[in-house]
Structure 1
Amino acid sequence: MSSETVFASRVFRWSAIYGVIALVPAYFMPVPDPWHLPYLGFVGLALVFQGVFWVIASDPQRFTPLMPLCIWEKLCFGIPALAFFARGQANAVSAAFGAIDLFLGVLFFLAWRRMRAAT
């Protein structure tokens, strides 16, 4: 395996592991009212993406075209979390998870660029 493939595989695999560990506990938190049920849909969709990350990790060269979608997935939470924190509308924990997502998005971008350059 090339160094590009190893890098991409590790980035996506570790991201999937982290994501499952970070997201599954959300299913055990109380939902305050039925209007917050879409939150559980968000968590479920985010968990589905952890599966996508795992699949990409299994063969980064084959699944390189999916990587930009994964970058967007990371931006969809990271940017709003930090923006809301900057406006005082989110707590530091949300901002920290948002920052982690942005960091992973950067790693996904680097993996994507390296995979594209290798082909």
Structure 2
Amino acid sequence: MTTQQTFARRVFLVAGIYGIAALLPQYFMEAQVGRDFPPPISHPEYFYGFIGVALAWQLAFLLIAGDVRRYRLFMLPAVVEKLTWGLATLALYAQGRLAVFVVGFGLIDLTLAAFFLYAFHSTRAERG
């Protein structure tokens, strides 16, 4: 395995594990989120839908980590997945609609987006 493949594998593995660890507990935190960040959640279908879609992406990251050459093209939508949340947190914070605490998680996603993009470009020459 090349250095580029090792980097890609590790970054997607870490992203998948981190994402599962960060998202899975939220299935049990609807009431807590409403207390900590009022108002209470009024549309739980969006809350649980977000968690479900995000968790599915964490599984995709683990799949990519398992075979970076085979799933290389999936790295591009993975970048989009990270950018959409990261950029949204910055925009919402700039509008005064989001706690700075949440922006920290958005910055982690933006960092992962950059790593994913690097992984995609660095494995380009290795395609078979």
TM (norm. structure 2) is: 0.88
1:35 aligns with 2:43: yes
Match of 2:72 in 1: 64
> CA-to-partner distance for each residue in 1:81-119, whole Å, 9 max, x for gaps?
111112211001210111100000000000000111333
Root-mean-square deviation (Å): 1.2
Deviation at 1:42, TM superposition (A): 0.6
**3-state SS in 1 of match to 2:88:** helix
Q: Percent identity?
A: 39
Task: Give me the whole-angstrom Cα distance separating, in 1, the residues matched to 2:67 and 2:41.
Answer: 41
Could you tell me which runs of 5 or more consecutive residues in structure 2 were left unpaired when the two chains were aligned.
Answer: 32-39
TM (norm. structure 1) is: 0.94
Deviation at 1:26, TM superposition (A): 1.0
Runs of 4+ in 1 over 2 A off after TM superposition: 30-34
Deviation at 1:52, TM superposition (A): 0.3
Aligned residues: 119
* 2:120 alignment partner, one of 89, 92, 112: 112
Please say which of residues 24-33 and 62-71 is displaced more in the overlay: 24-33
Could you tell me which runs of 5 or more consecutive residues in structure 1 were left unpaired when the two chains were aligned.
Answer: none
Which has more radius of gyration? 2
Deviation at 1:27, TM superposition (A): 0.7
